[in-house]
Amino acid sequence: MEVCANLGDSAGAATAVALGAEGVGLLRSEFVFLDSPCAPDLVAQEAEYRRVLDALEGRPLVVRTLDVGGDKPLPYWPIPHEANPYLGVRGIRLTLQRPQIFETQLRALLRAADGRPLRIMSPMVGLVEEWRQARDLALALRAEYDCADLQLGIMVEVPSAALLAPALAQEVDFFSIGTNDLTQYALAIDRGHPSLSGQADGLHPAVLQLIDMTVRAAHAHGKWVGICGELAADAQALPVLLGLGVDELSVSARSIPLVKQGVRELDQARARELAQAALGLASAGEVRALVSNALGEDR
Ligand code: PEP
Ligand code: MG
């Protein structure tokens, strides 16, 4: 199990490495766009991505392409009002509507790579056509740059992506499960809802089933799976995620030492049994009770 860092800026990469990050598992590239009064050009973007890759000194960088729209509009990129922004034009849906902006971001990433390990993933993929369009654009550009160690994948945040994992796994290089959005969409609970968000628990067996499907499909095709939502840093989720066979956890830099310690203390065979039992339960509360009993017995 690799433990990597989630980053929302380029300055934090060196600290993440100092805290033990084995790579960056999620670079939320929105910061490059949000910190700018107009769409950032190729040179400005390349400098940011290069800064992260330099700090990583050969460790892999997983970048999420621009994930705005819906509830997160950019001032220079007006989006018509939507009644249901979380179900509207956001993430990959938005960038595919503006191929010029998407292409500039991909070029900046490929230029910054310089042969170093770069993984590019698209957010909010729910349809195979979205993945294929994004992949085709990246592959068309790739030939122009020195990008020997490139992988292309998707974030699994929309339940349809997990349900389609057996088909998608034949085409992607990796999956990264965004449990924040996956939980929101699987349970139909707004992740920021003032009274309901507490019930949006990624340890809900329905979410675990989607994670399990994704991991099994990926491994059947020799692909890897990361978790980059908040669940990855949840101590009670750790044995379950290890037991489901997840290959990488990506968490905030400050959580890395604790997560690494937690992983080291776990027994793989017991974690597998626990995960299987969790998949058969009916609520997040039942899963949490099961894990806390199991962890209690270990002490
Ligand atoms: C997620 O949805 O789990 C995720 C990592 O993306 P974000 O929280 O930025 O939407
Ligand atoms: Mg998300």
Q: What is the mean pLDDT of each run of 10 residues along the chain (299 residues)?
A: 97 98 98 90 97 98 93 80 91 94 97 96 98 97 90 98 98 98 97 92 98 98 98 98 98 98 96 98 98 84
Place of tokens 């969790």: 278
Q: Is the CB of 183 under 6 A from ligand 1?
A: no
Q: pLDDT at position 298, please?
A: 67
Q: pLDDT at position 299, please?
A: 60
Q: Is the CB of 157 under 6 A from ligand 1?
A: yes
Cβ count within 10 A of residue 269: 9
Task: Give the Cα separation of 298 and 4 in Å (integer).
Answer: 26
Residue 179 CA: which ligand 1 atom is closest?
A: 3
Pairing type for strands 248-252 and 24-28 reads unpaired
Q: Is the CB of 178 under 6 A from ligand 1?
A: yes
Q: pLDDT at position 37, please?
A: 86
How far, in Å, from the CA of 187 to the mean position of ligand 2? 15
Q: Is the CB of 142 under 6 A from ligand 1?
A: no
Helices (H), 164-224: 165-168, 179-187, 205-220
How far, in Å, from the CA of 230 to the mean position of ligand 1? 8
How far, in Å, from the CA of 76 to the mean position of ligand 1? 23
Best substitution site from 157, 184, 250 to test ligand 1's pocket, by max atoms within 8 Å of Cβ?
A: 157
Q: pLDDT at position 193, please?
A: 92
CA distances from 249 to 224, 235, 253, 259, 277 (A): 11, 12, 12, 9, 21
Q: Is the CB of 72 under 6 A from ligand 1?
A: no
Predicted structure pTM score: 0.97
Residue type, 254: R
How far, in Å, from the CA of 262 to the mean position of ligand 1? 22
Place of tokens 């990624």: 202
